[in-house]
Structure 1
Amino acid sequence: MRVLVTGGSGFIGQALTRALTQRGDQVVILSRQPGKVPAMTGVVTVDRLQAISGKVDAVVNLAGAPIVDKRWSESRKQLLRASRIDLTRDLVSWMQTRDVPPAVLVSGSAIGYYGSHQDEVLDENAPVAAGFPHELCNAWEQAALVAESASTRVCLVRTGVVLGPGGALTKMLPPYRLGLGGPIGDGQQWMSWIHLDDEVGAILYLLDNPSLRGPFNLTAPEPVTNEEFCQTLGKVLKRPAAFRMPAFVMRLLLGEASELLLEGQRVVPVHLNSAGYAFKYRTLEPALKAVIKT
């Protein structure tokens, strides 16, 4: 299979590319910065869609600027929209011009689609809460769904916090190793996480099963509160995790974007489970141990 991956230079994209090439697939990576894409056998990197020649069997759309590293000024919001929605629209338009359209588009989204919730358990059909995260993810998904046709199926992957070398843990580990880690705010907000191996495994599963389409929550079956996450991480590192970050500090640092850290979603992967995907890491402690020893 020949697979086009957007965002292939990113954390998830690089792991997916390795998995695809290891099983014998060919990969074309679309990247605005081709020089940052590691050289790999069986991988071609382009900086524009028009440079792609030959048949493409499948597309995985993972492109998007980081969402929680800066305050959401209006200019930042516009960048977040452009890097997701505009790129997806361009990608779908390109797919529709192909003589033989790709058979499947697996397109990125996030559990921010649901907005902020308290303790409600959220499956793929759960109600949403208004706000910028939902607005962004919904428009992103709608742009991808334009590709749905008799020739192309579309899978939307609503990803939670991805745990793996180089991911969300990168900024967390240094203070935890010093014994300075701990919950954010009251720690009761839910964290829906997934190990990188399962993020990649689920994407491959969606690529390989032609009966699957629609939204899929890419989260482990057992979400945890922020408090439980922090205590488990401290346990794995054999360090205390009692240094609580006050909510007002996060609001001062990130403004509106602090919503993603102070409020949460208790998301479960009902559609993946129903489709028969077998998670490698269903619970948090083994997942953290696997990442930290890597």
Structure 2
Amino acid sequence: MRVAVSGSTGLVGSEVVDSLSTAGHEVVRLVRRSPAPGERAVRWDPEKREVDAAGLEGLDAVVHLAGENVGSGRWAAARKAAIRDSRVNGTRFLCDALAGLARPPKTLVCASAVGYYGDRGEEPLTEESPPGTGFLAEVCREWEAASAPAAQRGVRVVALRIGMVLSPKGGALARMLPLFRAGLGGVIGGGRQYISWVALDDLPGIVLHSMQYGFLRGPVNAVAPRPVTNREFTEALGKALSRPTPLPVPAFALRLAVGGEMADALLLASARVVPKRLLDTGYAFRSPELETTLLRLLGRQ
């Protein structure tokens, strides 16, 4: 297949590009600079609403992963606007461009997030569950809705609601490792909040499954089959590193450190998300269990 990928230099995008290329697919990167001679890339700039539409003709699929990192800075008003605009406006611009093609792709796999569900306690959440409330839930609803122009043009759209991505190369796990290796890790808040996680090396398989399974469309929960509580996650990571985890982090301290809204949405919210559609369509997870996944990712298996 000939597949275009946006966000191709990010943690998830790099893994997806490498995996698709290794599997023999032709990958075309969407980049914000002018492509070098001979480079398989198409220039786009969603902020300026510029794209080389001719380079998008005849694609089999598009994987759209571009967006500002929600956890890289405090949620001041400008930061929240950048997070929303990069997802909603970028997706709408890309889908408008795809809808205008003479030969649009058959499939668009677009990133979303489990933030769609908000803070839901112990409630099991499937793709049929209603959206939650709060900033992230609002962004995710608008993000997914922004793909409507492509769907109306006949493109099969899959929205991957991605959980916390586990990899020592980046993301939340990489930020935790120095503290846990020093024996300073601990439960966050009450520890009862659920974490819906997915190993980085499962995401390319989920993307490929979404492209190849022609009856799959709409939201798909891109998470491992068994979400865990923060306490379970803390204990599993401490065990994988052979380190104690004695130091709890009180909720008030988190709110002071990163701001109340950000702490409540990213660190204290509970989302017990189940990948019903992936399981129903036969996707076999490479990393279904947290303890063995952490041991493998950290080279301690």
Detail structure 1 runs of 4+ shifted over 4 Å in the superposition: none
What displacement does 1:129 show?
Answer: 2.2
1:69 Cα offset (Å): 2.3
Q: Which amino acid aligns with 2:32?
A: R
Give the Cα–Cα distance (whole angstroms) in 2 for the partners of residues 119 and 220 of structure 1. Answer: 16
Q: Partner residue of 1:191?
A: 195
- 1:276 is matched with which residue? 282
Q: Is the 8 A contact 2:53 2:97 kept in 1?
A: no
Using the alignment, how far apart are the partners of 2:289 and 2:33 within structure 1? Answer: 36
Q: Deviations over 1:191-225 (max 9, x none)?
A: 00011121221111001111211110011110000
Corresponding position: 1:231 with 2:235: yes
Q: Tell me, in whole angstroms, the C-alpha distance in 2 between the residues paired with 1:226 and 1:220.
A: 15
What's the TM-score once normalised by structure 2's chain length? 0.91
Residue equivalent to 1:288: 294
Q: 247-256 or 142-151, which moves further after superposition?
A: 142-151
Query: Does the 8 Å CA contact 2:107/2:211 hold for their aligned counterparts?
Result: yes
Distance in 2, matches of 1:94 and 1:128, equals: 28
C-alpha distance in structure 2 between counterparts of 1:237 and 1:83, whole Å: 36
1:120-177 deviation line (CA, Å, top 9, x unaligned): 0111111332111110000000001331146310001000001123232111101111
User: Residues 52 and 258 from structure 1, CA distance in 2 versus in 1: closer, same or farther, beyond 3 angstroms?
Assistant: farther
The structure 2 residue matched to 1:108, chosen from 96, 106, 111, is: 111
Match of 1:26 in 2: 26
Q: Is the 8 A contact 2:165 2:198 kept in 1?
A: yes
Query: Which amino acid counterpart does residue 17 of structure 1 have in structure 2?
Result: V
- Equivalence for 2:147: 144
Q: 1:76-87 residue pairs with structure 2 within 5 A?
A: 76-87=79-90
Partner of 2:43: 46
**Residue correspondence of structure 1 range 245-260 to structure 2 within 5 A:** 245-255=249-259, 256-259=261-264, 260=266
Does the residue aligned with 1:86 lie in a helix, a strand or coil? helix
Structure 1 CA distance, aligned partners of 2:131 and 2:67?
Answer: 22
Distance change (3 Å), C-alpha of 1:146 and 1:45: closer
The partner residue of 2:209 within 205, 210, 217 is 205
**How many residue pairs end up in the alignment?**
290
Q: Deviation per CA, 1:204-247, whole angstroms, max 9, x where unpaired?
A: 10011112111100111100000100100000000001211111
On the 8 A contact 2:99/2:149 being kept in 1, the answer is no
Q: Give distance in 2, aligned partners of 1:77 and 1:273.
A: 34
Letter in 1 for 2:231: E
Q: How far has the Cα of 1:83 moved from its partner?
A: 0.7
Structure 2 equivalent of residue 57 of structure 1: 60
Q: Pairwise CA RMSD of aligned residues?
A: 1.9
For the pair 1:240 / 2:237, whether they are aligned, the reply is no
| Alpha carbons 1:28, 1:45 under 8 Å: kept | yes
**Structure 2 gap segments, 5+ residues each:** 46-50
Distance 1:286 1:42, change over 3 A: farther
Q: TM-score under structure 1 normalisation?
A: 0.93
Contact 1:118 1:190 in 2 (8 A): yes
